[in-house]
Each structure stands twice: as C-alpha cells, then as structure tokens.
Amino acid sequence: MTDFNNDLGRRHVNFVALTPLDFIARAAEVYGERPAVVYGAVRRSWAQTHARAVRLASALQTRGIGRNDTVAVLLPNIPEMVEVHFGVPMSGAVLNTLNTRLDAAALLFMLRHGEAKALIVDTEYLALAEQMRAALPGLIVIGVQDVQADMPPIPAGWLRYEDLLAQGDPHFAWQPPADEWDAIALNYTSGTTGDPKGVVYHHRGAAINALSNILEWDLPKHAVYLWTLPMFHCNGWCFPWTIAARAGVNVCLRKFDARQVLELIAAERVTHYCGAPIVQSALASTPPEWRNGIHHRVSTMVAGAPPSPAVIAQMAAMGFDLTHVYGLTEVYGPATVCAKQDGWDQLDAAAQAQLNARQGVRYHLQAGVSVRDPETMQPVPADGETLGEIMFRGNICMKGYLKNPRATEEAFAGDWFHTGDLAVMSADGYVRIKDRSKDIIISGGENISSIEVEDAIYQHPAVVAVAVVALPDTKWGEVPCAFVELRAGAALTEQELIAHCKTLLASFKVPKRVVFKELPKTSTGKIQKFALRAEAGSAGAISYEAPAT
C-alpha cells in the first residue's frame, strides 16, 4: 500500500483557507472595468468597489478594529451594504448585519451581545442610532447618507462613512483568514419566543454556499442581480459573495416596490433576483402594462415558506423561471433546492407546480439533508406520508450560537442540525415540508398541515396572502383559522372562501373561521404567524359544529 501522506504535508504553497473575500479580489483583477454596482446615478466598476472595500478595511484597522471584533451595520440594500460584506471581514472583523425593522431594545440587545465596536448606519435610522449611541458610549458610529434617496444629513459627532474611506489606504495588504473556521459574520434569529440567538458563520461555509448558489442556479458570468432580498437576512443568502464570484452586477434597491422592481428589470436587463413568496405574489399581481419592456427570461429564487402552487403557476405564466430553495439562518440561507427533472415540463401546470413546491434535495456542497425521527434519529420511510424533522449536516452549517452552548448542543444533537420543520420524504428522495412543529393543527386527534390548507386558499384568484393557524375549540381542541389578505379591489366573503376550500380539502381540514385583513410581515416578507396565533388565541375557545364526514 502506498503512503500518500508521507512527506506530503500541507504547506502555504498548496493549502489556502477558503474565503469569499478572494472572489472580489479576482473580480477586480480580471474584470476590473466591468460594472459591479448600479444604484440610481451611482455606477461603480469592480475595481472601484474593491478599492472602496480595501479602504474600509484599512480604516477600520487604523481605529483598532481587527480579528474577532464585531462591526454592526444598519443599512438598506444600497452600495455601501455590498462594500461592508467585503471590507469588514478584510479587516479581520466579523460583520453583523442588523434587521432595519427592529426596535431599539432588540438592536441594543444584539449590539451588547455581539460586543459591537462600531456601527455603520444609514441616516434614515438616525433616531435609533442616537439611542444606541447614548446607551453605548464607546460605540463608534459611522454615518451613511444616501443622497440618491434624499436621506437626512449625518449629524455632528458621527464619523462620516466617506471620510472614513478617505482615511483608508487603497494599497492596504489585507490578509485572508489564518483559519477558514474563523468567523466572518454574525446573524441574529428573529427571537419571537425569547432573546434572539446569534448565529455565527465561518469563512469556509460562506465561500461554499456562495459557490453552491452558482451551481444550483447555473448562474452565468456577469449576471445582473436585483437586490429585492434584504442583505441583512442571512447575508443576502450569501449572494453578495456569489455575485462577486461571477463578476456580476449588483442592482441595488433601497425598498421593495413592485412597480419599481419591474421597471428596473426592464431598464437594467436584470437576469436574477430572490424573494419570499409574498414578493413573488406581489409581482404576479401587478397590471400587465407594468411589465412592458421585459422581453427577456428572468430567473427568480424563492424561499422563506413553501410557495403555493398557484404562485408558481402565475410566475411561469409571466415568463419568470422560478427555482424553489429552502433553508434557515443556521445554514447560511438556502441549503436545499427543488432540482427540476427532465419530463416535469411535459406535465400539466398544476402537476408541475406541485412538484416545484417541494423543498427538494441538498445543495451541491451541503453534505446531507435528511428527514428523521428526532427521538430515535432514524430516517423516516420515503413514503411521502411519515412525518419527521428536517435535518442538515455539512459545511453549510453554522459554527453555532454565540455564547449559548446549551442551544448549540441541542441544535446539533445526534450530529445533525435540527431545523424544527416537519416534513416527509418522497419516494424520489425529495423533501416536502408539511409544517413547522408548532404550526401543525391537531383537531380531534387528526393532524392538519397548515401549509396544505394555505395552498388550497392560495388557489382562489382573489387571495394575495394567507396564513392558517390553530384556533382553540372546546370540542375538537383546535380547528383551522385562516387569515386572508385580498388583492386590491377584490371581494370575497367567508362563506365563499369556505365553499372554495371544500372543493379541495377533506372536510375536517376546511377553515372554520376566516379573518380578512392585511397580514403582519417581517422585513423579508415572511408572514408573522406568531402574531396571528396570538390573535386567534385571544378569541377564546369557540365551539363549532362537527365537520361533515
């Protein structure tokens, strides 16, 4: 037997830590004059964007910020948000992107928990920043004024972002991480049931997921990517690094507006964008004339919740090619994909939509996804019926939760990451979510998938958004309650919607109550079911007639 390790150890010449930071260095070297960032009148090349990131890294180090220090940012999807994804980790620091819709208390918790040394903040959030500055006297506050959107000026006492960059060395010799296991980013979970948990990403995982995005989407060189997905959410599913790897174009968008999105797609020849189902539904609901000028194929990636078959069919009718992915903050955003198979396009639209709504198979560079019994840790049968929990294993898994070893151990029990999502495994090896463990409705001993009921309601043309939760019931324990948001100008009664559901669902799954209202959503477009569960629970236990069998 040959010893292939004898005298063949790792050396600097043949082993370099993986990092997505190298992607922008190569983009600047090879495609330096190509466009990197588009935002109103702002047009910057990859050479310019790289130089600004290097200056940022240099300036941060000059101010004493380096390895394992945290730099928080509170920014919308503007060019500076692209730059910090490279400049902050180039300094050795860890990037903490903050949700722009959070209140001061939540933001202060995150800044304290992550021990942020600096905060880079857009002046739209001036009042919040002043509160954080007052509560954390040692915090370096760096202001960004977005003149494209006519944002307020930077107040006295703040450090101007552009002045900071001017102090940086454009020839600064930034160093890649000594170890690819080093932290690159800190992202906080929503914390709807307690304090948010700090999810720590490593350079290796960020680089690998960025490359997986390319492989799963067949992303070409110089793709034109529109930032409809907040970059604060799982670092934009790692797409700041993905687009750099392809020397593509970042079309920045401060705030989602359906009409502006379609105008940008037409004007900038956008080829790719990502978004939650509510984003896709909003675009699909626009008047046809808003899509004038879009004559090219547009690829879109959807996640955040299983898209309804109705939304998938609508997007296809628009000429938008939809790829369904699934993941969580703890797995860098998307970590499975509903990979399309030959022959699916021969099926009718309804059958295609049902197949495409599944969460699918593991990402190229994720080692494994499995549906397992969380008690025995054994895989469930691939019968499309037996419920289990979705679990992940591989390089696209977080380092763990910051300062929370107990939660880390629970999440990694049995050497798999436990998602809390309940699913089945199809015979063809594709995962399909049935519900979050907390969202399964148990009515008279029968399990009802809220997602199945939502899919049925989404098929009604008047519905733009829906969430189904459990309503306490004195006889059945729980019954389905549907919160429904209608399209502009549409009219629908509770009785009409229930009648619609009866044509698609078993009687015990039909909602026993329908509430029409604008649904509460997160900044990424996810419907806030926890708020609706609280509303349904506050209604008290209501008894209904037994469903007909």
Interval 344-389: pLDDT, tens: 989 887 788 788 888 999 999 999 999 999 999 999 999 999 989 9
Tell me the C-alpha distance between 34 and 44, whole Å. Answer: 8
Cα–Cα distances (Å) from 182 to 93, 176, 432, in that order, read 10, 10, 34
Interval 296-343: pLDDT, tens: 999 999 886 656 667 777 788 888 998 999 999 999 999 999 999 999
Contact (CB, 8 A) for 393 and 416: yes
Tell me the C-alpha distance between 497 and 484, whole Å. Answer: 10
- Residue 484: predicted pLDDT: 95
Residue 89's contacts (CB-CB under 8 Å, 6 or more residues apart) are 19, 21, 95, 177, 184, 185, 203
Tell me the C-alpha distance between 305 and 312, whole Å. Answer: 13
- Residue 474: predicted pLDDT: 78
Q: What percent of the chain has pLDDT over 70?
A: 93
Longest dimension (CA), the chain: 78
Q: Is the pLDDT of residue 435 over 70?
A: no
Q: Is the pLDDT of residue 191 over 70?
A: no
Tell me the C-alpha distance between 52 and 458, whole Å. Answer: 45
- Residue 531: predicted pLDDT: 86
| Helix extents (H) in 292-386 | 309-318, 349-356
What ranges make up the beta strands (E) of 319-462?
320-328, 333-337, 361-362, 368-372, 388-393, 400-401, 417-425, 431-436, 441-443, 446-448
- Residue 476: predicted pLDDT: 77
- Residue 305: predicted pLDDT: 61
Tell me the C-alpha distance between 53 and 250, whole Å. Answer: 15
Interval 276-293: pLDDT, tens: 877 888 898 888 899 999
Rounded mean pLDDT, 410-421: 95
Q: pTM for this one?
A: 0.84
